[in-house]
Chains A and B, each alone.
Chain A
Amino acid sequence: MGVFTMPSLGADMEAGRLTEWLVAPGETVKRGDIVAVVETQKGAIEIEIFEEGTVERLMAEVGQSLPVGAPLALIRGAGEAAPEAPSEPAAPASAPAAAPDPARPGPASKAVPATGIAASPAAKALAAARGIDLGALTGTGPGRAIVLADVEAAGAKPADPRAEMRKAIAAAMAKSKREIPHYYLFHRIDLQAATDWLAATNAARPPEERLLMGALIARATALAAHASAGVNGHFIADGFRQAGSVHLGIAVALRGGGLIAPAIRDAHLLPLDAMMAALRDMVARARAGRLRSSELTDGTITLSSLGETGVEAMAGIIYPPQVALVAVGAPTPEPVAQGRQVSVRQTVTVSLAADHRASDGRIGAKFLAGIDRHLQHPEDL
Chain B
Amino acid sequence: MTDDDIRAAYLVALIDVAPDLSADGIGPDDHLQDDLDLDSMDVLNLVAALHKALGVDIPEADYPQIATLALAVPYLARRLAA
Q: Interface residues, chain A, CB within 8 Å of chain B?
A: 199, 202-203, 206-208, 210, 212-214, 253, 255-256, 279-280, 283, 307-309
- The residue on A at minimum CB distance from B33 is A309
Question: Given the interface contacts A199-B60, A255-B20, A309-B33, does A207 sit within 8 Å of B51 by beta carbon?
Answer: yes
B54–chain A nearest beta-carbon distance, Å: 12
Q: Which residues of A contact B47 (CB under 8 A)?
A: 207, 210
Q: Interface residues, chain B, CB within 8 Å of chain A?
A: 18, 20, 33-34, 37, 39-41, 44-45, 47-48, 50-51, 57-61
A191 and B50 CA atoms in complex are apart in Å by: 29
* Contact in complex: A203, B60 (CB < 8 Å): yes
A192–chain B nearest beta-carbon distance, Å: 16
* Contact in complex: B40, A202 (CB < 8 Å): no
Q: Which residues of B contact A213 (CB under 8 A)?
A: 40
* Contact in complex: B60, A202 (CB < 8 Å): yes
The one of A206, A253, A256, A283 in contact with B57, judged by C-beta atoms closer than 8 angstroms, is: A206
* Contact in complex: A208, B41 (CB < 8 Å): no
Q: Which residues of B contact A212 (CB under 8 A)?
A: 40-41, 44
Give me the 10 closest cross-chain CB pairs, A-B, nearest first: A207-B48, A207-B47, A207-B51, A208-B48, A283-B41, A308-B40, A255-B20, A202-B60, A309-B33, A212-B40
A117–chain B nearest beta-carbon distance, Å: 40
- Output the residue of A207, A214, A280, A309 with the most chain B CB within 10 A: A207
Q: Which residues of A contact B61 (CB under 8 A)?
A: 199
A207 and B45 CA atoms in complex are apart in Å by: 8
Q: Which residues of B contact A210 (CB under 8 A)?
A: 44, 47, 60
A256 and B41 CA atoms in complex are apart in Å by: 16
Question: Given the interface contacts A212-B44, A255-B18, does A207 sit within 8 Å of B37 by beta carbon?
Answer: no
A199 and B60 CA atoms in complex are apart in Å by: 8
Q: Which residues of B contact A206 (CB under 8 A)?
A: 51, 57
- The residue on A at minimum CB distance from B38 is A255
- Output the residue of A210, A253, A279 with the most chain B CB within 10 A: A210
* Contact in complex: B60, A280 (CB < 8 Å): no
A64 and B39 CA atoms in complex are apart in Å by: 37
A280 and B17 CA atoms in complex are apart in Å by: 12
Q: Which residues of B contact A255 (CB under 8 A)?
A: 18, 20, 37
B55–chain A nearest beta-carbon distance, Å: 11
A66–chain B nearest beta-carbon distance, Å: 30
A206 and B50 CA atoms in complex are apart in Å by: 12
* Contact in complex: A207, B57 (CB < 8 Å): yes
B61–chain A nearest beta-carbon distance, Å: 8
A279 and B39 CA atoms in complex are apart in Å by: 13
Q: Which residues of B contact A202 (CB under 8 A)?
A: 60
Q: Which residues of A contact B60 (CB under 8 A)?
A: 199, 202-203, 210
- The residue on A at minimum CB distance from B48 is A207
A203 and B60 CA atoms in complex are apart in Å by: 7
A280 and B48 CA atoms in complex are apart in Å by: 12
The one of B20, B39, B57 in contact with A307, judged by C-beta atoms closer than 8 angstroms, is: B39
- The residue on B at minimum CB distance from A256 is B20
* Contact in complex: A207, B40 (CB < 8 Å): no
* Contact in complex: B44, A308 (CB < 8 Å): no
Q: Which residues of B contact A214 (CB under 8 A)?
A: 40-41
A206 and B45 CA atoms in complex are apart in Å by: 12
Known: A208-B51, A255-B37, A308-B33. 11 other contacts (CB 8 A): A203-B60, A206-B51, A210-B44, A212-B44, A213-B40, A253-B39, A255-B20, A280-B45, A283-B41, A307-B39, A308-B39
A208 and B47 CA atoms in complex are apart in Å by: 8
Q: Which residues of A contact B58 (CB under 8 A)?
A: 207
A339–chain B nearest beta-carbon distance, Å: 30
Q: Which residues of B contact A309 (CB under 8 A)?
A: 33-34
